[in-house]
Amino acid sequence: EPEVTQTPSHQVTQMGQEVILRCVPISNHLYFYWYRQILGQKVEFLVSFYNNEISEKSEIFDDQFSVERPDGSNFTLKIRSTKLEDSAMYFCASSRLAGSLEQYFGPGTRLTVT
């Protein structure tokens, strides 16, 4: 069964550095999402992406964040200048169609900012 994949599984970076988190959504899916989960807290929505543009973003998704679909398979989240409070588990998810509500999650990337 196809699954969403994410790399790396764990990323350690210094405050102020740029990081890029990578995701490969399920191949026939058209809607892509990023969520994050700070340790011990709720899973929070960051951004959704469809047809090569952002569909929706949350208040967390400020100018430090960007997303891109650089080719037909990858979907990336870039944090330009990381802060300590960006430390979290970042999940990518995808869904097939607008009418298909089910979102399938990747295994996550644990980002640690020191």
Would you tell me which residues interact with another protein (CB under 8 A)? 3-4, 31, 33, 35, 41-45, 48, 55-56, 58, 91, 95, 98, 101-108
Grouping H, G, I as helix, E, B as strand and the rest as coil, residue 68 is strand
3-state secondary structure 2-28: CCCEEECCEEEECCCCCEEEEEECCCC
Name the minimum Å distance from CB 69 to another protein: 16
- Residue closer to another protein by CB (options 14, 102) is 102
Q: From CA 57, how far away is CA 73, in angstroms rounded? A: 21
- Residue closer to another protein by CB (options 5, 64) is 5
Name the minimum Å distance from CB 37 to another protein: 8
Name the minimum Å distance from CB 65 to another protein: 15
Q: Structure tokens of 73?
A: 């398979």
- Residue closer to another protein by CB (options 20, 44) is 44
- Residue closer to another protein by CB (options 18, 56) is 56
Q: Structure tokens of 108?
A: 């996550």
Q: Confirm if 11 and 108 have CB atoms less than 8 A apart.
A: no
Question: Phi, psi at residue 109, to the nearest 5°?
Answer: -120, 125
Name the minimum Å distance from CB 48 to another protein: 5
